[in-house]
Structure 1
Amino acid sequence: MNVERLERVRRDDTLVRGSSYLDVIETHPDWLGAPFVEEAEYLRDTNEQAWRWEYLGEITGTGGAVFDNVREARLSDSRIRTFQRIRNGVDWGWFPDPWRFVRCAWEPDARRLLVFEEHSANKMMPADTGKIVVDSLTFPDEAGGEAYFHDQMVWCDDTPDSKVQMNVWRRELGLRVHAARKARMRRLSYEWLAGLREIVIDSERCPLTFSEFTLKEFEKDKEGNWIDEIPDGNDHSIDAVRYAMLDDVLRG
């Protein structure tokens, strides 16, 4: 249901509205009855997270979240223009795995990562995905100003076929694209991201990224107990962010 809700929020033909017992206990307490309200308020006092999940329908996780430092926030254009340390990452894909491009800002003093832009595609050639990146990096420095191309570094997945795609980007589009030094860095980069003070994601600008970071959980064993393994899958934005931040991971 959490996955369904996050997917529905992204659709233009669907209105997602939240409601809970709090909407009616003042005006129509008889609809639910005193025992229901008493039980809900008791859980609220004893275990607020469980109360938020069970009675408010919030996505609080099941206790096995990899990233419990994710915070949802709206990032305005004016605030994005103030970001100083921009990081760009790409996870190559074709189909069914998508190609994903993510932009984020790094605030080392606050140990805060802010994800403010994403692009995703399937079955798209390198020249076309490169054009998406060029358009993304073409913007004005101030409101009402003239847009121009910003020559920012783009870090990407280092796979055998990515070398061909990177060459197209460099030769035909003039993009500064480099392979991330990801060898044996998956677990370390996950732990580094999970150890940040907060990962701020604009869920309107980056719904796919917000969904992946929010729903990523550790694996369970046959008895249903959490184990210290992070499963692959549904992690294209996470990988793009990891590649964008690997130099900072290695330095930090």
Structure 2
Amino acid sequence: MISLSEISLQQVVGKGYKSFWNFKGRYRVIKGGRGSKKSVTTALSIITNMMEFPLSNTLVIRKTFNTHKDSTWAQLKWASRRLGVAHLWHFKKSPLEAIYRPTGQKILFRGLDDPMSITSITVDMGYLCFCWFEEAYQVLKEDDFDKVDMSIRGEVPEGYYKQITVSFNPWNEKHWLKKRFFDEEDPDTLAITTTYKNNEFLDDADKKRFKWMKKNRPKRYKVEGNGDWGISEGAIYENWREEEFNPDKIAKLPGYKAVFGLDFGYRHDPSGFVAALVNPELKKLYIYDEHYEQAMTNSDIAEMLKRKGHAKERIIADSSEPKSIDEIYGHGINRIQGAEKGPDSINVGIQYLEQYEIIVHSYRCPNTAMELASYLWAQDKTGKFLQKPIDEFNHIMDALRYAMEQIRYGDNYTW
């Protein structure tokens, strides 16, 4: 039987992860480009920690439960083989879990799509010490992370510690992960970025591919090669930027028209409102005001529009909620009306907006910038992009499409 003390971690794990491997603080956060060995190193460290601390258990989280089997579960099973201890572990498919045979310790797998399976979690023996959030960029709400964070609580035996590992591919800089872990210094947090250059196990063919990407796909290389913040591919809107500008001055320029859009949300989704100045001839669109808030009643929305000074403007709202439009109209927003939409309205509206250079006010409209940076084409199981957007980051994006209907339809728009 091979013990961990007989294994060279430098040979098994490789270089570039010493601080990650030895850190004992609450949050161990790793952002890495493609091929940076961040996930396999995390899996190796979890197997090692479980065997070093015989009263510890681990919870592994992904956005959706059914993605574990081919990712984290398989990676941890591989890690047990890599460390030469596979005979000491039992990886079960039903229920999906891993059991350390000598002690009965468990690695449990859960998805955020089943919140009750996380908040009510218990372990048969010992303590829940470790947690791994894999592909954490898919966790869109910081509150979802906080709920799991709070479940890793309680005292642990002397010499033990509790730790949450957060691993993800580079994502746009508007994501809460950047502000939470990379922008604010915290002695209880280790936040690092790794790249394929940290992976000495890559062969010449792998390295050649990255060299080709650097030369021929520099935008993609910046993200997947260097591990910088950003989206490498699949972004719906690319011709946009943030800028501080004076909307009053823009409005006085010839050819500009103000447009306003509203998308309804409630308990789980925010209501999204957007105000913009558009010049159809120059194909320029300045977004200068927004609102982004959950649990807004129709009276709340009406009061918000009055407070912002937009009560007398023509506002194009989601026509799938005529009752909401009528109620808001009844609160004094007399020029609100439903969007016409039409066949394949989402893709048609996106194609029209793609013609425009979009300038977002740099401090008035942070949520608009966040959605523009995060709005992607959906992918199938093989990773192929589909001709439809994801159903996320689309509240202000939908409001913007509604607002632009009157420009797109021109003289044929129904007033």
Cα distance per residue 1:48-90 (max 9 Å; x no partner): 324533437242x222211121222222355455364111100
Using the TM superposition, give the Cα deviation of residue 181 of structure 1 relative to its aligned residue in structure 2, in angstroms: 0.4
1:67 aligns with 2:251: no
Distance in structure 2 (CA, Å) of the matches to 1:55 and 1:3: 12
* 1:110 corresponds to: 282
SS of the residue corresponding to residue 100 of structure 1 reads: strand
CA distance in 1, matches of 2:330, 2:367: 30
* Greater relative contact order, per chain length (Cα 8 Å cut-off, separation 6+): 1
1:157–1:243 contact (8 Å) kept in structure 2: yes
What do you get for the CA RMSD once the two structures are aligned? 3.3
Alignment partners' CA distance in 2, 1:69 and 1:80? 19
What is the match of residue 347 of structure 2? 187
- Aligned-partner Cα distance in 1 for 2:222–2:339: 39
Q: What do the CA deviations read for 1:10-39 (whole angstroms, capped 9, x no partner)?
A: 979x9469xx9xxxxxxxxxxxxxxxxxxx
Letter in 1 for 2:317: C
Q: How does 1:114-193 map to 2 (within 5 A)?
A: 114-137=286-309, 151-159=312-320, 162-184=321-343, 185-193=345-353
| Alignment check: 8 A CA contact 1:8 1:16 kept | no
Give how far 1:98 is off.
1.3
Q: Once the two structures are superposed, what CA deviation does each residue of 1:143-180 show, in whole Å capped at 9, x if it has no partner?
A: xxxxxx7x210110012xx3333223323324310101
Distance 1:214 1:63, change over 3 A: same
Moved over 3 A (4+): 1-5, 7-12, 14-17, 40-48, 76-84
Which runs of 5 or more structure 1 residues have no equivalent in the other structure? 21-39, 139-148
TM-score (norm 2): 0.46
Q: Distance in 1 between matches of 2:383 and 2:259?
A: 37
Give the equivalent residue in structure 1 for 2:402.
243
Query: Match for residue 6 of structure 1?
Result: 174
Q: Amino acid of the residue matched to residue 157 of structure 1?
A: D
- SS of the aligned residue for 1:71 comes to strand
Determine which structure has the larger strand proportion and give its number. Answer: 2
Number of residue pairs the alignment of both structures matches: 217
Q: Mean alpha-carbon deviation: is it higher for 227-236 or for 127-136?
A: 227-236
The one-letter amino acid paired with 1:204 is: Y
Tell me how far apart the structure 2 counterparts of residues 6 and 69 of structure 1 sit (CA, whole Å): 17
Please list every run of 5 or more consecutive structure 2 residues that lacks an aligned counterpart in the other structure.
1-136, 138-169, 186-192, 194-209
Quote the Cα distance in structure 2 between the aligned partners of 1:155 and 1:43.
Answer: 43
What is the DSSP-based 3-state SS (H/G/I as helix, E as strand, rest coil) of the residue aligned with 1:131? helix
Corresponding residue for 2:271?
A: 99
User: Percent same amino acid among aligned pairs?
Assistant: 20
Q: Deviations over 1:168-196 (max 9, x none)?
A: 332332431010101321210011112x2
Q: d(CA) in 2 for partners of 1:168 and 1:210?
A: 30
Correspondence 1:227 to 2:389 = no
Q: 2:365 aligns with which of 206, 210, 213?
A: 206
Query: Structure 2 residue aligned with 1:82, among 238, 248, 252?
Result: 252
DSSP 3-state at the match of 2:260: strand
Summarize the Cα distance change of 1:3–1:135 in structure 2 as closer, same or farther, 3 Å threshold: farther
Deviation at 1:232, TM superposition (A): 2.2
| Partner of residue 33, structure 1 | none
Where 2:387 maps in the other structure, the secondary structure is: coil
